[in-house]
Structure 1
Amino acid sequence: MIEVILVDKDNVQIGTAEKMEAHRQGLLHRAFSIFIFKSNGEFLLQQRAPGKYHNGGLWTNTCCSHPLPGEDTLNAACRRLSEEMGFSTRLTPAFNFIYNATFDNGLTEHEFDHVFTGIYDGEIKADKAEVSDYCYKKLEDITDSVQTHPQKYTEWFKIALPKIKTFHEKNFNKL
């Protein structure tokens, strides 16, 4: 049984819950999203595997998940990036946001999302149980695609994309 960390709107831990139960009840919990760029500025997108418990087949940020109870969020992000995408790189905190989205299968993502970013130009060995495809694209091309085909992307990605664009423009050379 995988548990998630329940938090209040200020990201203060208030308990834990079984992951699927937290998603069934729409409980606010801690999560993270990772945005990886190549050194030329292109962004690494992943397409979620069709068998994922929600949003299977949709395109999204490089990696996302939840820290385990007692696990530091940055350490969890590093662990999960290696497990899911098959590589490691230095991650930098970018920003946080809260979002709440309900899906057709009755599950709700209500997350306090910690966003991390990093740079990586090496080989990718994605876990096929998690990732069905991946590609690098320019942020402008992704933004255009999200505007013309929003149904192809996860809800949290559509919320985070304008924020990561702003962060990237101000900070890419500092990463």
Structure 2
Amino acid sequence: MQQTAPLILVNESDEPIGTMEKMQAHREGLLHRAFSIFIFNRKRQMLLHQRADEKYHSGGLWTNACCSHPIPGEELIISAQRRLQEEMGFQCPLEEIFSFVYKAELDNNLVEHEFDHVLVGTYEGDIVPNKEEVQDFGYYSVDDIQRLLEKNPEDFTAWFKIAFPKVMDWVFVSGGK
């Protein structure tokens, strides 16, 4: 299911300054609110998914469990839980651990300029991904992910390459709290 609601444009402090249609915001590279969800199992393996080739950008690339944009008027956590269900077919409790701003030129002449809220959760059940969003998925050890990132960074999304080391610091340095 493609998001049809407008994106929330924000300033560098994540204060809303307006809304804009998704594709226009990505063509113009305007800063907008987003979230990235990282899911772990009890073995501390991370759930990755390969974006469907048909996605409007970054098709076929590997990334964290779910990435999207909150809907105007909807709480961030509610939007994240809703999109996790829509994309991966499950829900679990989520906790925001940090946020960051990045800007990356993507394929299809699009620019991703996001104030990205990073959320984490733990999940052990069935995963039933939406085939329009996801073409492959699996849990991977963080060591395997690190090796894959070093060997083939072009196989991963721009935001994942930025967020992954920060999430690893949170998991292993802070003990996940």
Q: Which category of TM-score, normalised to the shorter sequence, fits these structures?
A: over 0.9
Specify every segment of 5 or more residues in structure 2 that has no aligned partner in the other structure, as ranges: none
In the TM superposition, what whole-angstrom CA distance separates every residue of 1:102-123 from its partner, at most 9, and x where no partner exists? 1131100000000000000000
Aligned-partner SS, 2:175: helix
Aligned to 1:118: 121
Alignment of 1:74-85 (within 5 A): 74-85=77-88
Alignment of 1:33-44 (within 5 A): 33-44=36-47
Could you say what the CA RMSD is over the residues aligned between the two structures, in angstroms? Answer: 0.9
Using the size of structure 1 for normalisation, the TM-score is 0.97
Find the counterpart in structure 2 of residue 171 from structure 1: 175
1:89 aligns with 2:92: yes
3-state DSSP class of the match of 2:53? coil
Letter aligned with residue 106 of structure 1: N
Partner-residue secondary structure (3-state), 1:167: helix
What amino acid does structure 2 have at the position aligned with 1:57? G
Is 1:56 aligned to residue 59 of structure 2? yes
Cα deviation code 1:37-92 (max 9, x no counterpart)? 00110000000000000000000000000001111111100100011000010001
Structure 1 counterpart of 2:133 = 130
Q: 1:5 aligns with which of 5, 8, 19?
A: 8
- AA aligned to 1:12 is E
Which of 108, 113, 126 matches 2:111?
108
Give the counterpart letter for 1:89 in structure 2.
C
Aligned residues of 2:58 and 2:107 also touching (Cα < 8 A): no
Q: In the alignment, is residue 16 of structure 1 matched against residue 39 of structure 2? A: no
**Match for 1:65 among 62, 68, 81?**
68
| Residue 159 in structure 1 maps to residue 173 in structure 2 | no
Report how far residue 2 of structure 1 moved: 2.6
1:144 deviates by 1.2
Q: What percent of counterpart residues are identical?
A: 53
- Report the Cα distance in structure 1 between the residues aligned to 2:34 and 2:165, rounded to whole angstroms: 19
Task: Give, in whole Å, the separation in 2 of the partners of 1:96 and 1:30.
Answer: 10
| TM-score when normalising by structure 2 | 0.96
Deviation at 1:6, TM superposition (A): 0.2
Aligned length: 173
Tell me if 1:146 matches 2:149. yes
Partner of 1:31: 34
Q: Secondary structure at the match of 2:56?
A: coil
